[in-house]
Amino acid sequence: MSREKILIVEDDKDIIELLRYNLVKEGFLPTAVTTGEKALMRLEDEPYALALIDIMLPGMDGLDVCRRIKEDEKLRPVSVIMLTAKGEESDIVAGLELGADDYIVKPFSPKVVAARIRTVLRRKRAQWTFEEKPLQVENIYIHPGKREVFAEERRIELTNLEFMVLYFLAKKPGWVFSRYQIVDGVRGNAYPVTERSVDVLIVSLRRKLGASGRCIETVRGVGYRFRSETGDEDVSVSRDMEKAAAHS
């Protein structure tokens, strides 16, 4: 995993030098920029495996940079670790919702940062893959290859993490999963998570799915499950749903 290109997005020169020095020692190829705007331009011009992004940046903040990366089809494969002095739960949740792969709070150990980078890149390589076959449970249609979701023939825009959680639950209708099982299933057991962050994701999913969101049920004291009238794990795609997807 050595010689991976890492983009440091940080406006504190001392932190830049600390990270750059230690990442070079660990075998990475770090480059640094001081603004979010410069980060996006650099990512457009060069391939990077991962971006370390501080939230508190001049101009465009780190969360906006993360959002732009995950909304751009070309940049989306770049892994993101949020690096910031802000450690409130709301900031962690915001980063997770936008698709960040990890979150490190300052002050930090450079060796811990390097280890977390390796974990994220290793997880990316070993990331579970979606089945090619689309699936439908109740009124929800999911196409893994296209990353498309339809609820009652209405296209639903989801973040990458929301999509992965929905697909994970819908693959096993009727099965109950704890919050940590859900995160382990879509991100790996090294992913930083709080119960609150999973709850926020589920609330967001239900809201976006509208009336179909009631299929995601809360199991008190345990976690969540995807309700199915039939309880059958074998799910198929209706012609109406396929037609809606084809004309989207």
- Higher per-residue confidence, 98 vs 110: 110
For domain 135-246, give the CATH number. 1.10.10.10
Could you count the other beta carbons within 10 Å of the beta carbon of residue 4?
A: 18
Q: In the CATH scheme, what is the homologous superfamily, with its name and number, of domain 5-125?
A: Response regulator (3.40.50.2300)
CA distance 190 to 104: 13
> How much is the pLDDT for 106?
86
- Higher per-residue confidence, 44 vs 85: 44
* 114-133 pLDDT, tens digit each: 999 998 888 776 555 555 57
CA distance 135 to 130: 11
> How much is the pLDDT for 233?
43
CA distance 165 to 51: 23
Q: Is the pLDDT of residue 247 over 90?
A: no
Q: Which region holds residue 202: left if phi is over 0, alpha if psi is between -120 and 50, else beta?
A: alpha
Share of the chain above pLDDT 70, in %: 82
**For the whole model, what pTM was predicted?**
0.57
> How much is the pLDDT for 243?
47
Question: Tokens 């990331």 identify what position?
Answer: 127
Q: What residue ranges of the chain are covered by domains with CATH 1.10.10.10?
A: 135-246
> How much is the pLDDT for 69?
93
Q: Is the pLDDT of residue 240 over 50?
A: no
pLDDT interval class at 33 (50, 70, 90): very high
Mean pLDDT for 19-44 is: 94
> How much is the pLDDT for 130?
52
> How much is the pLDDT for 242?
44
* 104-113 pLDDT, tens digit each: 888 889 999 9
Give the 3-state secondary structure of residue 98: coil
Q: What residue ranges of the chain are covered by domains with CATH 3.40.50.2300?
A: 5-125
Q: Quick check: 120 and 113 in contact, CB under 8 A?
A: no
pLDDT interval class at 231 (50, 70, 90): very low
Mean pLDDT for 159-188 is: 82
* 144-170 pLDDT, tens digit each: 877 889 998 899 998 877 888 898 899
